[in-house]
Chains A and B, each alone.
Chain A
Amino acid sequence: MSRDKKEEGNRSNDLDRVIENSRRDFLRKLTLAGAVTVTGGAAIYSGHRFEKAKHREGYVKVLTEDNRLVEIPVEQMRDFKPDLRMLQSRGREGIAGKRWVMVIDLSKCRNARKCVEACQSAHHLRPYEYHINTLVMQESVNTPAFFMPKPCQHCDNPPCVSVCPVDATFKRQDGIVLIDNDRCIGCRFCMAACPYSARIFHWQEPSKHEEDGNKEYDVELNVPQKKGTISKCLFSADRLREGMLPYCVSACPNGVFYFGDENEDAVTNGTTKETVRFSELIEKNGGYRLMPELGTQPRVYYLPPKNRIFEFEQGEKREYKQEKA
Chain B
Amino acid sequence: MKYTTGVIICLMLLPSFARGQDWVVPDDRKGRLSTFPFTDDTRKEGEKLYQVNCHSCHGDPGRNNFIALQPPPGDPATEKIQRNSDGEIFHKVSAGRGQMPSFRSVLTTDEIWKVVSFIRSFNRSYVQKVMQVITSSAYPGAIISMKLAYDEATKQVLVIASATSETGTVPVTGAGVRLLAARYFGKMAVDEEKTTDVNGVATFSVPEGLRGDTAGNIGFSAMFTDEATFGSVSKDTVLMAGMPVIPVSLTANRAMWNTVRKAPVWIILAYGLGVLAVWGFIVLVMFKLRDIFTVGTALSENISASHGQTEPTKN
Report which A residues bind B (CB closer than 8 A): 96-99, 112, 114, 156-159, 161-162, 167, 170-175, 243-245, 253-255, 259-261, 263-266, 268, 271-277, 279, 309-311
- Binary flags per residue of B201-220, CB closer than 8 Å to A gives 1, else 0: 00000010111000000000
- A158 touching B249 in the complex, CB below 8 Å, given contacts A268-B186, A272-B105: no
> Is there contact, CB below 8 Å, between A273 and B184?
no
**Residues of chain A with a CB closer than 8 A to B184's CB:** 98, 243, 260-261, 264, 266
Tell me the minimal C-beta distance from A147 to chain B in angstroms.
Answer: 15
**Residues of chain A with a CB closer than 8 A to B245's CB:** 263-264
Which 4 A-B pairs give the minimum distances between C-beta atoms?
Answer: A161-B257, A173-B249, A275-B188, A268-B185
**Residues of chain B with a CB closer than 8 A to A259's CB:** 185
Q: Of B101, B186, B247, which contacts A255 at CB under 8 A?
A: B101
Tell me the minimal C-beta distance from B277 to chain A in angstroms.
Answer: 22
C-alpha gap A281/B294 in the complex (Å): 80
Tell me the minimal C-beta distance from A106 to chain B in angstroms.
Answer: 16
- Binary flags per residue of B182-208, CB closer than 8 Å to A gives 1, else 0: 011111110000000000000000010
User: B103 an interface residue at 8 Å Cβ cutoff?
Assistant: yes
> Is there contact, CB below 8 Å, between B101 and A99?
no
C-alpha gap A170/B256 in the complex (Å): 11
Tell me the minimal C-beta distance from B259 to chain A in angstroms.
Answer: 7
User: B173 an interface residue at 8 Å Cβ cutoff?
Assistant: no
- A-B interface pairs (CB < 8 A), number: 97
Q: Specify the chain B residue showing the minimal Cβ separation from A309.
A: B99
> Is there contact, CB below 8 Å, between A157 and B211?
no
> Is there contact, CB below 8 Å, between B101 and A271?
yes
- A112 touching B56 in the complex, CB below 8 Å, given contacts A98-B247, A171-B258: yes
Tell me the minimal C-beta distance from B20 to chain A in angstroms.
Answer: 15
> Which residues of B, 93-120, contact A by the 8 Å Cβ criterion?
96, 98-99, 101-106
10 further A-B pairs in the complex, CB-CB below 8 A; given A157-B255, A272-B105: A167-B259, A171-B250, A243-B184, A244-B185, A261-B184, A263-B211, A264-B184, A272-B106, A277-B188, A310-B99
- A275 touching B56 in the complex, CB below 8 Å, given contacts A173-B249, A266-B188, A310-B99: no
C-alpha gap A311/B57 in the complex (Å): 16
> Is there contact, CB below 8 Å, between A268 and B183?
yes
> Is there contact, CB below 8 Å, between B183 and A158?
no
- A264 touching B105 in the complex, CB below 8 Å, given contacts A162-B256, A173-B251, A273-B186: no
Q: Specify the chain B residue showing the minimal Cβ separation from A249.
A: B185
Tell me the minimal C-beta distance from A223 to chain B in angstroms.
Answer: 23
Tell me the minimal C-beta distance from B65 to chain A in angstroms.
Answer: 15
Q: Of A162, A254, A264, which contacts B183 at CB under 8 A?
A: A264
Q: Specify the chain B residue showing the minimal Cβ separation from A265.
A: B211
> Is there contact, CB below 8 Å, between B188 and A276?
yes
User: B125 an interface residue at 8 Å Cβ cutoff?
Assistant: no
> Is there contact, CB below 8 Å, between A275 and B185?
yes
> Is there contact, CB below 8 Å, between A273 and B105?
yes
Q: Is the interface of B mostly helix, strand, loop or mixed?
A: loop
Tell me the minimal C-beta distance from B109 to chain A in angstroms.
Answer: 15
C-alpha gap A319/B154 in the complex (Å): 58
Bin chain B's interface residue count: 20 to 34
> Is there contact, CB below 8 Å, between A275 and B257?
no
C-alpha gap A174/B251 in the complex (Å): 8
Q: Specify the chain B residue showing the minimal Cβ separation from A154.
A: B250
**Residues of chain B with a CB closer than 8 A to A244's CB:** 185
**Residues of chain B with a CB closer than 8 A to A274's CB:** 102, 105, 186
> Which residues of B, 232-288, contact A by the 8 Å Cβ criterion?
245, 247, 249-252, 255-259
- A253 touching B57 in the complex, CB below 8 Å, given contacts A263-B211, A273-B106: yes
> Is there contact, CB below 8 Å, between B255 and A96?
no
**Residues of chain A with a CB closer than 8 A to B315's CB:** none
Q: Of B98, B105, B209, B257, which contacts A158 at CB under 8 A?
A: B257
C-alpha gap A260/B182 in the complex (Å): 12
C-alpha gap A309/B99 in the complex (Å): 7
Tell me the minimal C-beta distance from A294 to chain B in angstroms.
Answer: 14
> Is there contact, CB below 8 Å, between A264 and B259?
no
> Which residues of B, 134-163, contact A by the 8 Å Cβ criterion?
none
C-alpha gap A156/B258 in the complex (Å): 11
> Is there contact, CB below 8 Å, between A265 and B209?
yes
Tell me the minimal C-beta distance from A280 to chain B in angstroms.
Answer: 9
Q: Of A156, A159, A171, A275, which contacts B186 at CB under 8 A?
A: A275
C-alpha gap A138/B105 in the complex (Å): 34
Q: Specify the chain A residue showing the minimal Cβ separation from B258.
A: A171
C-alpha gap A172/B70 in the complex (Å): 44
> Is there contact, CB below 8 Å, between A263 and B56?
no
C-alpha gap A97/B246 in the complex (Å): 8
**Residues of chain B with a CB closer than 8 A to A255's CB:** 101
- A156 touching B250 in the complex, CB below 8 Å, given contacts A114-B56, A260-B185: yes
C-alpha gap A258/B255 in the complex (Å): 29
**Residues of chain B with a CB closer than 8 A to A276's CB:** 188
Q: Of B105, B186, B250, which contacts A99 at CB under 8 A?
A: B250
**Residues of chain B with a CB closer than 8 A to A277's CB:** 188, 207
- A272 touching B103 in the complex, CB below 8 Å, given contacts A174-B250, A266-B188: yes
- A243 touching B247 in the complex, CB below 8 Å, given contacts A265-B209, A272-B103, A311-B70: no
